[in-house]
Amino acid sequence: MTDDKPHIMLVEDESHLARGICFNLEEEGLRVSHFETAEGALATLEIEHFDLVILDVMLPGMDGFQACRAIRILDPRVPILMLTSRSEDSDRVEGLENGADDYLTKPFNLVEFLLRVKGMLRRSSWYRPEPVEEGYRFGDNEVFLLSYRARTAQGEIDLTEMEVRVLGLFFQKEGRPIHRTELLQSVWGYSSDTETRTLDNFIVRLRKYFEPNPSHPKHFQTVRAVGYRFSRDGN
Ligand code: CA
């Protein structure tokens, strides 16, 4: 019998917290494999596929940031949710810079945690796969959403699941401002009243990949008091 439940990797050294997380995710019909160290998790990632990685920052041995970079080499696409123990902004930014797709600061609310996990597991349904993939071109870039890769001025890069979702939404709504609430809801599955810097840090990442001058963006534009707008030609 095949088990098609989404498979989640949890890397967390605090056993009581890990037990609680496993119990609640399993109650939601998900399959969880728990690892106490990043080293153990990475060894398993070499041979097994996961649908989501939940990664604690403070771990014995290799920490969550190092682990995140190593996971991205093994699996460039898998969504990664980091659990940060400090509320400092630098921790969140560092996680997102190392390839994570979202973060939650401990202690977190269980309902919020489950919403976040479900949002990240949800497959993108708003872009239609084409039989033969034609790249989406803008500036010096060409993006292949179906194969999760892009050609940029800096070379070829692999895209994560969450990056593909954000880019898909931007391309679909090219030239139109998109409210940050809509981006957070359709890409991350956030409830509308959540305050987060995830989106802004994510845009910083996209600008680094695709903009000739990331501090003066042409393509991924900020729309004050609204959110962001994608422009193909920089107008
Ligand atoms: Ca820990």
Q: Average pLDDT of the chain?
A: 89
Residue 75 Cα to ligand 1 middle (Å): 23
What's residue 128's pLDDT? Answer: 44
pLDDT computed for residue 168 by the predictor: 93
Q: What angle do CA 78, 80, 86 make, to 5 degrees?
A: 170
| Residues 99-114 pLDDT 10s | 899 888 888 888 889 9
The per-residue pLDDT for 3 is 64
Spacing, Cα 158 to ligand 1 middle (Å): 29
Q: How far apart are CA 129 and CA 143, in angstroms?
A: 14
Question: How many Å lie between the centroid of ligand 1 and the Cα of residue 50?
Answer: 21
CATH class of the region 136-230: mainly alpha
CA of 19 to the centre of ligand 1 (A): 13
Cα–Cα–Cα angle for 180, 186, 188, nearest 5°? 85
Residue 152 has pLDDT above 60, yes or no: yes
Rounded CA-CA distance 205/55 in Å is 20
Q: For the chain, what are the domain ranges?
A: 2-121, 136-230
Q: Give the Å distances, CA to CA, from 50 to 6, 19, 45, 69, 71.
A: 8, 19, 8, 16, 11
Distance 37 CA to ligand 1 centre (A): 9
pLDDT band, residue 126 (cuts 50/70/90): very low
Residue 192 reports pLDDT greater than 80: no
Ligand 1 centroid from CA 87, angstroms: 14
Residue 148: other Cβ atoms inside 10 A: 16
SS3 169: helix
Q: Which DSSP string corresponds to 18-29?
A: HHHHHHHHHHTT
Asked whether residue 194 carries a pLDDT value surpassing 80, the answer given is no
Does domain 2-121 fall under CATH 3.40.50.720? My reply is no
> What pLDDT is stored for residue 193 in this prediction?
63
Question: Looking at the whole model, is its pTM more than 0.85?
Answer: no
Tell me whether the CATH fold assigned to 2-121 matches the one assigned to 136-230. no
> If you ran DSSP here, which 8-state letter would residue 130 be given?
P
Separation between Cα atoms, residue 214 and residue 23, nearest integer Å? 43
Q: How far is the CA of 184 from the centre of ligand 1 (A)?
A: 27
For residue 124, pLDDT beyond 50: no
